[in-house]
Amino acid sequence: MPEHQDKIIRAQLLARYNALSEDKKKILRLFSVVYAPVNQTTMRKIVNALGWQTAGGMPLETMVDKSFREELIPAKLIVFEQNAMYCHRAIVELLTREAVSKDEFEAMAQAAEQIVPTAAAKTSPAFYHLAPEHYGTAFRALRVAVYSGAMDKVSELLTRMPRHLRSQTGTSNPLVEIYANPLDGRWLEGLPDKLRLQVLRTVLVDNTLALPPCAEAFALLERLLPDQENTEWRLCLAEQRLLRGQLAGIEALLPGGGEAKELALSGWHRFIQGDTEGSITLYGEALKADKKATRKRNLYLSGLPGVFYVLALMRSGDPDHLSLARQQTAMAMKLQWEDDPYLDVFSLLDACIDVLQGKSRVTDQYRLAEDFRLFEPHVTLFHALALTWAGGKPKKAHTDRLVDCG
């Protein structure tokens, strides 16, 4: 659904939410925290576990009844499917953030866990094989970790969440479903610097894959930068400016501290300035720094900086550099468990290198012949580039799709 339609729907739902009594608002916020579809009996148990009362002194659970359903379901604040109810996804994160701001979240999450536990799923090997219908409960565990600020737990859950469940969010990273639904500057301002950066970085990376780059998240990144001495923020801002071709002031963000990430970004900067050899030198230093820090022998530079390293090696035309580029793409494909969102791009460049080394013809490379319309937009861009460098000819549909992406 187009973004402007999402905003219209969200505004309509919020207006209906704001017209509710405070008691009904509280119940709807609880639905947002529970997240997974639950039937009326289960929701009443969760409300009862909280021990809350209405403004009139009655148990709050008594309000979860037929009249509640008949009011909130037609208003689309509650979605009713297969005899179960859940908060409309367009406002679910806003209401959960409101619960956090009202100091209700922790109690709500504990009550939900008591009645509809996720703990067993999180500690059992079965968590790896959850059926799609259990996605809501698994995703609630992730949301609770996010809104509790438990970032180590977030990382653990993401690592163990099956890919077929991740894909249900419609993004390459399920955290985007939490952070950008919607992306709220006021909410971000209340977060600790480390979590705020993690939110913006996650949204920016995901949006880069979709194209075009997210202007809103980038503006927030620049506005909320706490201090240029903060290395993580500084490097994130430098990467986003390189992505957008905003090269003014890049040198100040990349003073040359010897860190692998900074050296890789400096190599990317040199490459787009036309200094291919200087770029390759800096990238080589980045790999050395990475190997020294990790004590691993076989490494590749991941993400967009790594993609541009391979492009620099290919651009040089030197046979040794082509061999090194092939090592990088081969390592990227071998370490697929690293979950690099640019793995498809590395695969395309690997096929292109094969042609450049004279080991095959462009017509023999199935990866270059694949229907690019099945790819994500960022892969379409590199598919056209790989075809061109391999001596093939991109189709008009390549351009049409990229234009459609904005």
19 and 115 in a single domain? The answer is yes
Residue 239 CA to chain centroid, in angstroms?
A: 16
Residue 123 has pLDDT above 50, yes or no: no
Q: 348-366 burial string, b = 16+ CB within 10 Å, else e?
A: bbbbbbbbbeeeeebeebe
Q: Which strand (E) or helix (H) includes residue 239?
A: helix 231-244
The first and second tokens of residue 59, run together, are: 């148990």
* Residues 33, 175 share a domain: yes
CA dist., res. 125 & res. 312, Å (int): 43
48 and 119 part of one domain: yes
Is residue 12 domain-shared with residue 131, that is, in the same domain? yes
- 206: number of Cβ within 10 Å: 22
Peptide bond into 192 cis (omega under 30): no
Residue 336 lies in a domain: no
Domain limit, last residue, from 240, 264, 283: 240
What residues are paired with 79 via a beta bridge?
86
Task: Answer left, alpha or beta for residue 171, where phi above 0 means left and psi between -120 and 50 means alpha.
Answer: beta
- Distance from C-alpha of 10 to C-alpha of 333, rounded to nearest angstrom: 40
Place of tokens 């400016």: 241
Helices 193-210, 215-224: axis angle to 10 degrees equals 160
Q: Which of 169-173, 208-212, 215-219, 402-406 has the lowest mean pLDDT?
A: 169-173
Q: Which residue has better confidence, 367 or 109?
A: 109
Residues 157 and 11 in one domain: yes
Contact (CB, 8 A) for 35 and 87: yes
Kindly state the DSSP code that residue 128 receives in the 8-state scheme. Answer: G
In whole angstroms, give the CA distance from residue 279 to residue 284: 9
- Give the integer Cα–Cα distance in Å for 297 and 265: 21
Asked whether residue 108 falls in the same domain as residue 135, the answer is: yes
Residues 6+ apart with CB under 8 A from 52: 26, 59, 60
Residue range 285-341, pLDDT digits in tens: 999 999 888 888 778 898 899 999 999 999 999 999 999 999 999 999 887 655 678
Type of residue numbered 125:
P
Residue finishing a domain among 207, 240, 273 = 240
Residues 135 and 191 in one domain: no
The answer to whether position 404 is within a domain reads yes
Q: Are 157 and 142 in contact (CB under 8 A)?
A: yes
Q: What is the mean pLDDT of residues 354-365?
A: 92
The answer as to whether 25 is a domain residue is: yes
Q: Single out the residue of 359, 361, 357 nearest to residue 369, CA to CA.
A: 361
330 beta partners:
none
pLDDT tens digits, one per residue of 38-90? 999 999 999 999 999 999 999 999 999 999 999 999 999 999 998 999 999 99
Q: pLDDT tens across 188-224, in order? A: 888 888 888 888 888 888 777 766 678 888 898 888 8
| Other Cβ atoms within 10 Å of 126 Cβ, number | 11
The answer to whether position 47 is within a domain reads yes
Which amino acid is residue 235, in one-letter code?
L
Q: Quick check: helix, strand or coil at residue 79?
A: strand
pLDDT in the model for residue 176: 85
The total domain count for the chain is 4
Q: Are residues 192 and 157 in the same domain?
A: no
CA–CA separation, 207 and 381 (whole Å):
14
| Cis peptide preceding 2, ω within 30 of 0 | no
What phi and psi, each to the nearest 5 degrees, are found at residue 79?
-100, 130
Structural domain that includes position 208: 183-240
Rounded-to-integer distance, Cα 84 and Cα 41, Å: 10
- Residue 227: how many CA atoms within 13 Å on its side-chain side? 5
In a domain, 249, yes or no: no
Q: Is 139 helix (H, G, I), strand (E, B) or coil?
A: helix
Which percentage of the chain shows pLDDT scores above 90? Answer: 51
Token pair in block for residue 268: 């990317």
State the greatest distance between any 2 C-alpha atoms of the chain, in Å, as a whole number: 81
Instruction: Please indicate, yes or no, if residue 265 is contained in any of the structural domains.
Output: yes
| Chosen domain end from 302, 328, 354 | 328
Instruction: Please indicate, yes or no, whether residues 235 and 173 belong to a single structural domain of this protein.
Output: no
Question: Do residues 187 and 301 share a domain?
Answer: no
**Residue 247 domain-assigned (yes or no):** no
Q: Are residues 267 and 210 in the same domain?
A: no
pLDDT, position 227? 65
Residue keyed to tokens 């490097």: 235
The average pLDDT across 229-247 equals: 89
Q: How confident is the model at residue 368 (pLDDT cuts 50, 70, 90)?
A: confident
Q: Are 46 and 9 in contact (CB under 8 A)?
A: no
Residue 145 lies in a domain: yes
Residues 83, 153 share a domain: yes
